[in-house]
Structure 1
Amino acid sequence: MKKFALLVSCSLLGACANFGSQPPVPITSPVVQAFRDICLQTAPSFAEAHRVARQHGITEMTDMGFATIGFNADKSLSIQVKVSHECVVTSEPQQDATLTSQLLTAAAVNAGTTVPRKTPAKMMIAGQPFILMHDRDGGEAFLMLKPE
């Protein structure tokens, strides 16, 4: 009976450890792949974000003083980067219900942590706190920023 109780306790403990997380999903969206490469992989400083953005076709970049913005040739993909503070990748609306899950999977890989179920999500990346969000209003906006 003690073995059974121990088994049940361990099972419940394991279930609680995964509460609030979801299994990773494949990252198939080009927009999420761009966010992963441009923002997640250059965090926490985002110093290399502009260079990596060029690999995704974002060649028109303008320093706005408060941030640098950039677009690809047909304006279907854009970035906004404020060094050491925020990184945003936007695109036209996508007909993919898994985009938020793909974003969280990509973030979890870079953070080396579990995958939360929804955004906004607070995560530690390279030892620094970030907030990740996915906004679908008028298009797709993937954002990571350091909390004030």
Structure 2
Amino acid sequence: MKKFASLVSFTLLGACANLGSQPPVPVTSPVVQAFRDICLQTAPSFAEAHSVARQHGVSEVTDMGFATIGFNADKSLGIQVKAGHECVVTSEVQEDATLTRQLLTAAAVSAGTTVPSRVPVKMMIAGQQFILMHDRKGGEAFVMLKPE
């Protein structure tokens, strides 16, 4: 039920979040680069997400039934993938105020569009609609979710 409520919240918020655009910023953060490679570049199926995650140090993944999860050796980078539906990259707290803008720049490049001004945002990526979000509570979570 909690997951369903989150999905509904992201969907509703995403519907009105892309108001305006901003200039792109360089994608320099390793965690945003990981999100770009693991999630954005393997969308919409995320079928290759686990093999790409290996390039970022995520060597083992575990099937939890609802999704597969994995971490790098020191647990500073994590992934959660539900094939065809969602892809999440997490990390410990980063002291970088530009992370959301970097996420939006990476997403805009993947979507071939202008850089949105804020998250959550709905974007067409690889021909399918996704909601993108950056949550900074207790660490960094970069979320790519297909609305249902």
Structure of greater Rg: 1
- Deviation of residue 60 (structure 1)? 2.2
- Whether 2:22 is the aligned partner of 1:22: answer yes
| TM-score normalized with structure 2 length | 0.87
Matched residues, number: 130
Letter aligned with residue 42 of structure 1? T
Counterpart residue number, 2:95: 95
1:53-132 alignment runs, 5 A limit: 53-132=53-132
5+ residue gaps, structure 2, are 1-18
| Deviation >4 Å, runs of 4+ | none
- Deviation of residue 113 (structure 1)? 0.7
Q: Percent identity?
A: 85
Identify the structure with bigger relative contact order (alpha carbons < 8 Å, sequence gap 6+). Answer: 2
3-state SS in 2 of match to 1:61: strand
RMSD (CA atoms): 0.7
Letter aligned with residue 69 of structure 2? I
3-state SS in 1 of match to 2:107: helix
- Deviation of residue 79 (structure 1)? 0.1
Letter aligned with residue 89 of structure 2? V
Counterpart residue number, 1:42: 42
How far, CA to CA, are the matches of 2:96 and 2:144 in structure 1?
A: 20
Counterpart residue number, 1:32: 32
